[in-house]
Structure 1
């Protein structure tokens, strides 16, 4: 079949449009190179101030990113406040009275808007801030892929069902990660984020006094560690008391989290399950990370990139919020 000049031009135009759509649908490191060239400096500088003011905020920001990506993908839906017509994810059981750091994201967003108004999504800001949280805690860095758009909706029901729980067994954890397209290795690697931060007693108290309804403590827990935790979390009351996820180096991003698991000193059931379940698919990885921090750092960066690629909104499928808390 012969094409006339007009048909050929239309064909080429269509081809170029298709190529543009493909490139638009891919996250890239240099997405804001022209539109907001100082973006990463602004985010890093604001995070430095936040972490200097409160070391714990690094873990809080990292957790925000996790809880965002596991619900509707990495779309900043976790940042939305409730409205009369939409119940957001903040009030879901896994998040209520637990997630924090929203004010830091607000400050970063305001600083970015001052230089690049209406350009950078809250989803990308959260992705960058989580990377900086790790770096500022002594952990690895990575090139954050950018180009996400912000969701117009949130899902309290998906927050309840998708997010890994501190009481989950290994099979449930694996299933929840695989539902997001993440592997068993990603599960063990990303759980290493618990090398920093704290947890409320309510998330693990059952292990201390009535594990699995047995009326007894968790028998896999180191005795000295159990007694230490019982002094922080009494059998009655104290549910909001805080314990260190890694009691040895709670503010340092390192591999002691994994070494603790080898000696039955994992705080959450979901932590200790990675090693004490006797499943070689996870226990072998725990052992290798406990011995090789370079391997953990390398794989953590890779797994964070993988998680950041979970169902991002791109192109015209979302928005750029001016205020991360509201659809705008």
Structure 2
């Protein structure tokens, strides 16, 4: 059987993680974790995404964003999926997620089908991990073998979400600080993972200050391509509806490719945090952006490596945490059965 270079990257990184001095949780994750207990886990998740894509072309980008925002808050433990309770302040209402994070209903559907096929086996944290990988693959991006075996958290932290998740208005130094804080590197990981903005949408409120009053200057962001600026001003008029959405990548909005980086070279990054990667004078990220723009294979290989790193941040394994029956509730929080609990979190 032919093994692609990207698969070899994933296998090599797995060997490094298992053989390293990192915490035991890394070694407990395995690409074969569900081979006996739930062998169709990836196919079931992929099928739900394919169905959803028929009516929602941006669901893949929304799912990878859920995984990203989950991993940046106390690790990849599906805490982002928990609803409010008397003891839990949901991360769904954190600044980066409120009226923005989406796809919870699709995750619920995945969980329901997995519970039917393999009751009590597949964690919500692993569902987010696999759905991110499958979404990238279905959009034409690289594929890789996930390391699985995560367990789900018993709590969430809205306050930590407000501190840790990178934001659209941040400078490169602020972005670097947040990546370093969670255990990712602040150059290749930062640029590669930002490349996920090669598909999906963003709301006007996440970039409109760049169009009219950048950094309180009463002028547009000077790094914005002037033609692109005019296009965005038509989509997002000053004082208009901040919930209107537009494409993160104006060239190939639903395809996972390296056009995002080519856009940055000509001032067509949608978010300030995107354009900062290329327009920050003297930054080490500039050369990485240029490389990824010229070499899609280099971007894909780096993206796979960075996704595997991110997906293994502070994971719960073994007997820590739990396998939730309902991704939005800690087990034992209701007397209802699994089927009645699996309702949309939207």
TM-score of the superposed pair, with normalisation by structure 2: 0.87
In the other structure, the counterpart of 2:343 is none
Query: Equivalent of 1:39, from 20, 33, 41?
Result: 41
Instruction: Supply the RMSD in Å over aligned alpha carbons.
Output: 1.3
State the secondary structure of the residue aligned to 1:316: coil
Contact 1:25 1:314 in 2 (8 A): no
Query: Equivalent of 2:290, from 277, 287, 290?
Result: 287
User: Taking structure 1 as reference, are residues 24 and 268 closer, same or farther at Cα in structure 2, changes over 3 Å only?
Assistant: closer
Separation in 2, partners of 1:241, 1:133: 23
**Structure 1 residues 158-207: Cα deviation after superposition (integer angstroms, max 9, x where no partner):** 01000000000000000100111111110000000000011001111110
Separation in 1, partners of 2:244, 2:25: 48
User: Taking structure 1 as reference, are residues 99 and 44 closer, same or farther at Cα in structure 2, changes over 3 Å only?
Assistant: same
The unaligned stretches of length 5 or more in structure 2 are 1-22, 332-346
Separation in 1, partners of 2:36, 2:295: 39
Contact 2:28 2:318 in 1 (8 A): no
User: Taking structure 1 as reference, are residues 151 and 292 closer, same or farther at Cα in structure 2, changes over 3 Å only?
Assistant: same
Separation in 2, partners of 1:223, 1:291: 23
In the other structure, the counterpart of 1:70 is 72
Contact 1:167 1:270 in 2 (8 A): yes
State the secondary structure of the residue aligned to 1:148: coil
In the other structure, the counterpart of 1:321 is 324
Query: Equivalent of 1:160, from 153, 159, 162?
Result: 162
Separation in 2, partners of 1:23, 1:99: 28
Contact 1:51 1:136 in 2 (8 A): no
Separation in 2, partners of 1:292, 1:208: 30
In the other structure, the counterpart of 2:10 is none
The ranges of structure 1 where at least 4 consecutive aligned residues each deviate by more than 6 angstroms after the TM superposition are none
Separation in 2, partners of 1:167, 1:209: 14
Query: Equivalent of 1:57, from 52, 55, 59?
Result: 59
1:109 aligns with 2:103: no
User: Taking structure 1 as reference, are residues 296 and 23 closer, same or farther at Cα in structure 2, changes over 3 Å only?
Assistant: closer
User: Taking structure 1 as reference, are residues 84 and 300 closer, same or farther at Cα in structure 2, changes over 3 Å only?
Assistant: same
**Structure 1 residues 114-146: Cα deviation after superposition (integer angstroms, max 9, x where no partner):** 010001100001100010010011100111100
Separation in 2, partners of 1:92, 1:170: 22
Map 1:1-328; keep pairs closer than 5 Å.
26-183=28-185, 184-328=187-331
Contact 1:24 1:315 in 2 (8 A): no
How far 1:316 moved relative to its partner?
1.3
User: Taking structure 1 as reference, are residues 231 and 24 closer, same or farther at Cα in structure 2, changes over 3 Å only?
Assistant: closer
Contact 2:25 2:317 in 1 (8 A): no
How many residue pairs get matched?
Answer: 308
State the secondary structure of the residue aligned to 1:160: helix
Separation in 2, partners of 1:308, 1:84: 29
Separation in 2, partners of 1:292, 1:298: 10
The unaligned stretches of length 5 or more in structure 1 are 1-20
How far 1:25 moved relative to its partner?
5.1
How far 1:38 moved relative to its partner?
1.5
Contact 1:255 1:296 in 2 (8 A): yes
Q: Which moved more, 1:186-195 or 1:83-92?
A: 83-92
TM-score of the superposed pair, with normalisation by structure 1: 0.92
State the secondary structure of the residue aligned to 2:54: helix
Q: Which moved more, 1:232-241 or 1:258-267?
A: 232-241
